[in-house]
Structure 1
Amino acid sequence: MTGSAFYLSLLPFTTTIFRFFSSLLAPLVIDRFPLKRILVQSQWWKTILLVCLGIYISSFNHGFSVAVIFFIAVISLLDGVAAPVSAAFIPQLVPKDERMKANGFLNVITQTIFVAGWPLGSVLLISTNSSFIIWLTVMLFAVSTIYTGRIEISEQTTDSVAPTNWGSIKSGWVAIRQIPTIHTLISIDFITTLASSVWVAAVIYLYVEQNLQLGEEWWGYINTSYFVGMIFSGLIVIRFAKLLEKYIGFFITFGLFLSSLLTLLFGMTSIPALALLLACLYGLPEQIREIIYTKLFQDHTTEKTLAKIYAVWGAVINLTFAGSALLLGYITETYSVKTTFPFSSTMIFLAFLYATFKRKDLHGEKCDQSVSSQSSNIPR
């Protein structure tokens, strides 16, 4: 659509910034409407916007323009509300003792789509054009919205007296502060997110060039290996769900230690086959930990509060990741990629130390007894 690196960089920047602000304001909507209604209507609005975008590109053929940025910005605003709401659906659809397996299954589906989506998208773009891809996306969005509308859930009734705007906005933050398990998990995730930008394309390109001394296509191989590891992690969760639930604290802390070690080894190696193996192995503890986080979040809150917590979490992580990408990009450019990975490994190791210190907050079973009393004090 454009050969300008600046215009291309506006896409992730616009998406991140607008999703950040939308996530901050999402509780205003969550407090006033049923979750299913929010999700279905946001999906329909995104479908309508994609239709408008498709008509614009097909009719005017201007390619990249301010209008395209506008459509992307509004869709990102809707995503910032829809994402936490959809994440809060699982507890209403799946019994508590089956949630770990359900989260693992969803992980397998999601990561498989990611792995297949990149090459499939490239083939479609080469063999067709951007207009065809947009209309295909419109069709998929419409189908998904229809099926979402057919989901039957039983929601809590909305409070007859809605909280103030400020009360809604801060309610997710209050919930995080009042529930020790969730506060600890988000603190750990904040630290690890500072390190996770080491896997962005800009850093991996330099890693492939400087460490492996191979062509750019190896970035794709490494990226695929990473996602394959995530898929296997979902299968492991499905198979050993009960074991993971029994030793949640251990798997979180050990997973952090393993991630730190694998990041360090990956940054040090110059053997291509070993780099692929380490990237795959790195995806295992990362995604298992993410699934465990999701399970603990679901067990410790009501659906409305869970949606607000996810909104806050999304806002914090989006902003942290953006800042981390700049920081690690600066470290890579100023020093070298061989400095970036040890730095990232050190950050994850700090998260491991913090998790070890706060391990009493990572045992979901012990915390369940106090959930109801904690939740009663949280603004909904």
Structure 2
Amino acid sequence: MSIRHNKHFLYLWFVNVATTLAIELFTVTILVSIFEQTESTLLAAGTMVARTLPPFLLGPISGVLVDRFPRKNMLIGMGLMQLILVAMAIWFLQGDGKISVAGIYLILAGISAADAFHRPARMSLIPSLVPQGHLVKANSFILASNQIMMAISFTVGGWLILAIPLRHIAFGVLVLFLLATLMAIPIVEPKLHHAKNRGKKESFWNSWLSGWNYLRDHPIARPLTIMETVEHLPHGIWTGALMLAFTVNALHGDASDWGYQATAYFTGMILGSLGALAISNWLARFSGRIIVINACISGLMTLAYSGSQTVGIAVMWAFVFGPPFAIRDVAQDSLLQSVVEKEQLGRVYATRDMLRNAMFMFAGIFFAWLSGFVSIRTIYVVGGILYMLTGVYALSNKALRESKITPDTEQK
């Protein structure tokens, strides 16, 4: 069945789109609001900590629960929690419409905590609803939609917070979470009998430990997770706060110029995701090589971006980043879903997110702190070198380098 005619996948796609738009729009408006109020890169980077700390702390718990309980129910339950948190934000924003920075952090952290369960459930549902031969197309469709939502968030979010009160934006976010929760209800999830029976026999600790051991011993999932975790160290230079600082201090631009770069990047990501749909068969055959090559390309393009002298050149490089990153992301998710057992996928995704978020949180804070002592251009040069070292690791791992997605292969 084509993914366009797979109604349960389309329900999941809508849940993913609405949730992504809600979270990203809320995050961007908060980031810009804090930066405008405090003019502090470090405080603005606090939004990143609020987003990444909960998945890091809750990763071991969320993975086990996503594999133990129906993933559809997880989507509904966490969606309701996000609804309640946004409703609390609306209530706090009554009167003069102001809220303390600490209060904003707490609300954003709560939404992110719910997403620590919601996202692994979403991603783990894909191979249950879609035949393995259509995984690349399904992930391309999901990623393209996500990038459109993020482009909308970064393009519109900065303008919205300057034009209308945060409380009004929160009402829109509330509606998006409500729609996502309602659309999760009609999803019919295939039962994973093996996982259900195992969950009854294993304690919570043993269930988490078995998932960790599974990931540690997997010949492809392990190096892929290590590579992505290490890669999130240089990813820390792309936080909204640091990019905004680069735009203002190195390019002598403003918040709108930062928005142009973000929009160009997401436009490139959208085109890359759509391109992955067109080359899905080729991408499946050479997924490992694509992942390795793009890890190396990331370093070269980051070094080129660091040398940008005008906003226009920076926007151009931001766009060029998009397509290879999108194709790489599709390859990574599709490869992971094709080689990991479905009843282990929730724990693998949650562990991967936990490690990536821990690294990204550390990197974001570290580079924001470092920006007070060295030039912002130097930070991006360091990031480019780190990307290239990640590429060397990926190139040295034969199992990852030669991995591919075969539609008729059983998940191992």
> TM-score, normalization: structure 2?
0.82
Q: Report the equivalent of 2:320.
A: 281
Q: SS at 1:88's partner residue? A: helix
Shift of 1:176: 1.5
Partner of 2:305: 266
CA distance in 1, matches of 2:318, 2:283: 23
SS at match of 1:155: coil
2:358 to 294, 319, 324: 319
Query: Residue 79 of structure 1: CA displacement?
Result: 1.4
Q: In the TM superposition, what whole-angstrom CA distance separates every residue of 1:307-334 from its partner, at most 9, and x where no partner exists?
A: 1111111111111011112333344433
Residue 226 of structure 1 and its aligned partner are, at CA, apart by 1.4
What's 1:104 paired with?
140
Which of the numbers 34, 42, 58 marks the counterpart of 2:94?
58
Q: Distance in 1 between matches of 2:405 and 2:178?
A: 43
Distance 1:179 1:221, change over 3 A: same
How far is 1:342 from its partner? Answer: 2.4
List aligned pairs for 1:155-304, cutoff 5 A. 155-157=191-193, 158-159=196-197, 161-304=200-343
Alpha-carbon spacing, 1:30–1:329, altered in 2? closer, same or farther (3 Å): same
Following superposition, the deviation at residue 106 of structure 1 comes to 1.1
Q: What CA distance in whole angstroms lies between the structure 1 residues aligned with 2:177 and 2:286?
A: 39
CA contact (8 A) 1:256 1:285 kept: no
- 8 Å contact kept, 1:248–1:292: yes
Moved more, 176-185 or 355-364: 355-364
Tell me what 2:58 maps to: 22
Provide structure 2 residue ranges, at least 5 long, that are not aligned to the other structure. 1-32
**TM superposition shift of 1:213:** 3.7
Q: 1:146 to 1:366 in 2, by over 3 A?
A: closer
**What letter matches 1:334 in structure 2?**
F
Q: Secondary structure at the match of 2:93?
A: helix
Counterparts of 2:83 and 2:73 in 1: how far apart (Å)?
A: 15
Contact 1:23 1:80 in 2 (8 A): yes
Aligned residue pair count: 373
Separation (CA, whole Å) in 2 of partners of 1:122 and 1:345? 27
After TM superposition, give the deviation of residue 10 of structure 1 in Å.
4.7
Take 1:321 and 1:131, find their aligned partners in 2: how far apart are those partners? Answer: 29
Distance 1:245 1:122 in 2: 38
CA distance 1:359–1:333, change in 2 (3 Å): farther
The correspondence of residues 319-338 of structure 1 with structure 2, limited to 5 A, is 319-338=358-377
Structure 1 match to 2:49: 13
Please tell me the residue identity of whatever aligns with 2:118: A
Residue aligned with 1:159, SS: helix
> Match for 2:322: what amino acid?
G
| Equivalent residue number for residue 116 of structure 1 | 152
Alignment match, 1:149: 185
In structure 2, the CA distance between the partners of 1:252 and 1:11, relative to structure 1 (3 Å rule), is closer
Distance 1:96 1:202 in 2: 39
Amino acid at match of 1:49: L
TM-aligned CA deviation for residue 65 of structure 1:
7.1
- For residues 287 and 15 of structure 1, the distance between their equivalents in structure 2, rounded to whole angstroms, comes to 22
- Partner residue, 1:49: 85
1:86 aligns to what?
122
Q: Secondary structure of the equivalent of 1:308? A: helix
Query: Structure 2 CA distance, aligned partners of 1:171 and 1:371?
Result: 20
Residue by residue over 1:183-222, the C-alpha shift from the partner in whole angstroms, topping out at 9 and shown as x without a partner, is 1111111222111122223433343345434444322222
Structure 1 pair 333/56, CA: closer, same or farther in 2 (3 Å)?
closer
Change (3 A) 1:358 1:65: closer
Assess, with a 3 A threshold, how the Cα gap between structure 1 residues 328 and 150 changes in structure 2: closer, same or farther. Answer: same
Q: Is 2:120–2:350's contact at 8 Å kept on the other side of the alignment?
A: yes
What per-residue deviation string (whole Å, max 9, x for no partner) do you get for residues 169-194 of structure 1? 33332221121111111111122211
Identity of aligned residues (%): 21
Are residues 1:357 and 2:396 paired? yes
Question: CA–CA distance in 2 between the matches of 1:62 and 1:332?
Answer: 29
Does the residue aligned with 2:269 lie in a helix, a strand or coil? helix
The 5-angstrom pairing of residues 29-48 of structure 1 reads 29-48=65-84
| Cα distance in 2 between the residues matched to 1:196 and 1:328 | 10
Q: What is the rounded CA distance, in whole Å, between the counterparts of 1:208 and 1:55 in structure 2?
A: 35
Q: Please say if residues 158 and 259 of structure 2, whose CA atoms lie closer than 8 Å, have aligned partners that are also in contact.
A: no
State the match for 2:176 in structure 1.
Answer: 140
Cα distance in 1 for partners of 2:313, 2:369 equals: 27
Paired with 1:73 and 1:196, the residues of 2 have a C-alpha distance of: 20
SS at match of 2:202: coil
* CA contact 2:45–2:240 (8 Å) conserved in 1: no
